[in-house]
Amino acid sequence: MSVSDPQPLYKDDAYDRVWRFDSKYNENGWYDLYYNDVDIGTNNGAYKLPAQVLRSAARSWNVSYSLEFNYNDEFLDLDWPYQYYVCFHFAEMEQLPHGKKRIINITLNSKTSQPLVLEYLKPVTLEYVTQGDVRFTISATPQSDAPPILNAYEIYKVITQLDSPTQATDVGAIQDIKNAYQITRLNWQGDPCLPKQYAWEGLICSSDTNPRIISLNLSSSKLTGEINTSFSYLTELEFLNLSHNELEGPLPEFLAELPKLKVLTLTGNKLSGPIPKALKDKADKALQLSVADNLDLCMTGSCKKKNFVVPLIASLAALSVTLSISLGFWIFRRFKVVHSDTSSLKSKHRAFTYAEIVKITDNFKTTIGEGGFGKVHFGILQDHTNVAVKVLSPLSMQGYKEFRSEVQHLMTVHHRNLVSLIGYCDEGEIKALIYEYMANGNLQKHLSVENPDVLNWTERLDIAVDAAQGLDYLHNGCKQPLIHRDLKTSNILLDQNMHAKIADFGLCRAFGNDTDSHISTRPAGTLGYVDPQFQRIGNSNKKSDIYSFGIILLELVTGQKALARVHGKNIHILHWIVPIVERGDIQSIVDPRLQGEFKVSSAWKFVEIAMLCTSPTAAERPDMSKVLVELKECLYLEMTVEGISERARTVSGLTSPSVR
């Protein structure tokens, strides 16, 4: 390859390879050539070299010098037990005088081939098989009239034939899915599951003798058309994510017939029509079904359109009267629906008087928390429901702004992983919010070294998944997406069953889309959790939330605080953990209080997710929908060893009381 373009990718490369030229070759007597004006075309053989690769070449100084290469001198040592395919690509681009020829010898690992005569503009590829070592020399024969050249070479490691390949039905199904949606992922070649290190991107397979596909993530894969019937043949599938594509048409009933399906994510497509009854029934029992942001999909009730039969009439005036009556009836029905929804909203979020607040809290007897907004008190409603009552301090001007923000957002967002608003009080200077009571307090207290009841690894994974589901709903499930802007462990609350819910929406802000990043320059968040990019330029978007969430994940896995005081200085958790990650020492990362009770693969995946979320560059951080899928797969890795407890099934979202 040309030294001026060291690692290019080419559109006409069928295999999307990276071609490189190392300047060290020049030091070894390789002379760089490039012929822009030669129409060499493409190599139509099995290797399909791009035209620009064929137009470049390396040449020795003269016929007396050769081109020499030793793979182990330039790169990591090859594995001796393995065989390697070595492919040499040649294309004569120099039109030699009549009767003159370029004739070369190829010596690979001390074995020399028959001489090769190159012809003008006729590409040639030679293939060889060797074991554990690649050393070659390209030299001119005594009869050659020109120095040796080499346009390109490739080295392939040979993976032995699989004794127990992926189950045939799954292979056929995933191949059909690949063809139907024209999926062009580079590693979607060969066996989908084996070898494990080369499993297709987005797939997780079982560890059976003949592996089965148990998880398939095709989120944001530009899928179009209807949901293909081939998915129905993946009968061991437990997780299926088709979110954020361009899928359209009805939601097929065959998805409900997948016997082991636990999580089905279809958010952000163009699906339409009703949700099949069988799928709804399954979602009520053992399936987490996410279908938000499919504007034409009916969430509840019947989707059948009213069929108005208008008799054929002679009088245009009579037709006008009929249409007017129909229109009036439609407006009346629509008014009734809107009025009904408004009444429901008001009744769900009850207005309390100050006197009722005093009675509920027993005159503010028990304080359970305090923040910039004011104090939080324990209370009991008349029906014996325990609640938390957040009362605005009259001295807090910022608290009043947060009060308004929190009321506005909690009136419109409803999710099982967000703390629910029961009611409010707004009497002049008296402002208060009444929430569901979270009996087990906040996550910060549970991670504290002073807490004698240490969270086990599965509980930490469950909490991470719960919180991720709540944040994913804020970012991707709301009609008007929201940024929390103050995510931290003290704002992750736990109910009596240790289900996690996100709380404190006082700094929450709405945003339109990913490019709407300049939400506010007002200081927001808590030291240690604030996105460093926001600190530098003052703009925040949902990637700022994802950074904060990544810090929470690091606290969960390490048991350390976001900021720790060491020798009189604040040490951020990232400064502590990054060198250990680079050393690959997972045992030094995981909270020692777990006493090694965790699966290493699950912990490593968890750390990798956290590190992606806390990338210094916002653009490199994944979307929350992707983080959620990865955390669920992380939980699955742990459960494959421990077995699935009822607690794990519920918290991880493997069961769902309703369609979201």
Residue 269: pLDDT over 70: yes
Over residues 458-477, the mean pLDDT reads 92
Q: How does residue 369 score in pLDDT terms, banded at 50, 70 and 90?
A: confident
Binding residue per annotation — 359? Answer: no
Q: How does residue 516 score in pLDDT terms, banded at 50, 70 and 90?
A: very low
Residue 648: pLDDT over 60: no
What is the structure's pLDDT at 603? 93
Distance (Å) of CA 450 to CA 251, 371, 400: 50, 22, 34
What is the structure's pLDDT at 318? 43
If you compute the radius of gyration of the chain from its CA atoms, what whole number of angstroms results?
A: 32
Amino acid letter, 409: H
Distance (Å) of CA 29 to CA 21, 55, 112: 14, 20, 21
Write out pLDDT tens, residues 278-301.
Answer: 998 888 788 888 888 888 888 655
Query: Is 39 one of the annotated active-site residues of the chain?
Result: no
Write out pLDDT tens, residues 230-251.
Answer: 999 999 999 999 989 999 999 9
Give the whole-angstrom CA distance, residue 153 versus residue 136. 11
Residue 560: pLDDT over 80: yes
What is the structure's pLDDT at 484? 87
Give the whole-angstrom CA distance, residue 623 versus residue 472. 9
Residue 210: pLDDT over 50: yes
Give the whole-angstrom CA distance, residue 410 versus residue 349. 9
Between 339 and 482, name the one with better pLDDT: 482
Give the whole-angstrom CA distance, residue 568 versus residue 578. 21
What is the structure's pLDDT at 504? 81
Comparing 73-82, 93-102, 431-440, 630-639, which segment has the lowest mean pLDDT?
A: 73-82
> In the chain, how long is the greatest CA-to-CA distance?
109
Residue 143: pLDDT over 70: yes
Report the DSSP pairing between strands 67-70 and 83-90: unpaired
**Residue among 467, 482, 465 at smallest CA distance from 413:** 482
Distance (Å) of CA 628 to CA 99, 257, 467, 577, 585: 68, 24, 9, 22, 25
Write out pLDDT tens, residues 147-197.
Answer: 999 999 998 887 765 556 889 889 989 999 998 999 988 788 888 998 887
Q: How does residue 311 score in pLDDT terms, banded at 50, 70 and 90?
A: very low
Q: How does residue 498 score in pLDDT terms, banded at 50, 70 and 90?
A: very high
Distance (Å) of CA 251 to CA 260, 264, 265, 268, 297: 18, 12, 12, 13, 8
Distance (Å) of CA 288 to CA 42, 257, 469, 500, 648: 49, 14, 11, 17, 13
Residue 304: pLDDT over 60: no
Between 124 and 640, name the one with better pLDDT: 124
What is the structure's pLDDT at 510? 62
Q: How does residue 506 score in pLDDT terms, banded at 50, 70 and 90?
A: low
Domains parsed from the chain with CATH numbers: 24-157 (2.60.120), 168-298 (3.80.10.10), 350-436 (3.30.200.20), 443-651 (1.10.510.10)
What is the structure's pLDDT at 246? 93
Please identify which residue in the block is written with the tokens 């470049």: 56
Q: How does residue 511 score in pLDDT terms, banded at 50, 70 and 90?
A: low
Over residues 104-126, the mean pLDDT reads 91
Give the whole-angstrom CA distance, residue 35 versus residue 577. 50
Which of 170, 466, 472, 486 does the annotation list as catalytic? 486
Comparing 254-263, 303-312, 424-433, 507-516, which segment has the lowest mean pLDDT?
A: 303-312
Report helix, strand or coil for 641. Answer: helix
Residue 38: CA atoms inside 13 Å, Cβ hemisphere, count? 21
**Residue among 263, 251, 249 at smallest CA distance from 217:** 263
What is the structure's pLDDT at 401? 62
Which stretches of 44-148 are DSSP H helices? 51-54, 71-74
Give the whole-angstrom CA distance, residue 324 versus residue 546. 52
Residue 465: pLDDT over 80: yes
Give the whole-angstrom CA distance, residue 161 versus residue 581. 35
Regarding pTM above 0.85, the answer is no
Write out pLDDT tens, residues 322-360.
Answer: 434 344 443 333 333 333 333 333 334 578 998 999 999
Residue 256: pLDDT over 50: yes
Distance (Å) of CA 493 to CA 349, 359, 420, 488, 496: 21, 25, 11, 10, 10
Residue 180: CA atoms inside 13 Å, Cβ hemisphere, count? 16
Give the whole-angstrom CA distance, residue 286 versus residue 263. 9
| DSSP string covering 307-362 | -------S-HHHHHHHHHHHHHHHHHHHHHHHHHHHHHHHHHSEE--HHHHHHHTT
What is the structure's pLDDT at 303? 58
Write out pLDDT tens, residues 377-415.
Answer: 999 998 888 999 988 776 555 556 666 666 766 677 788
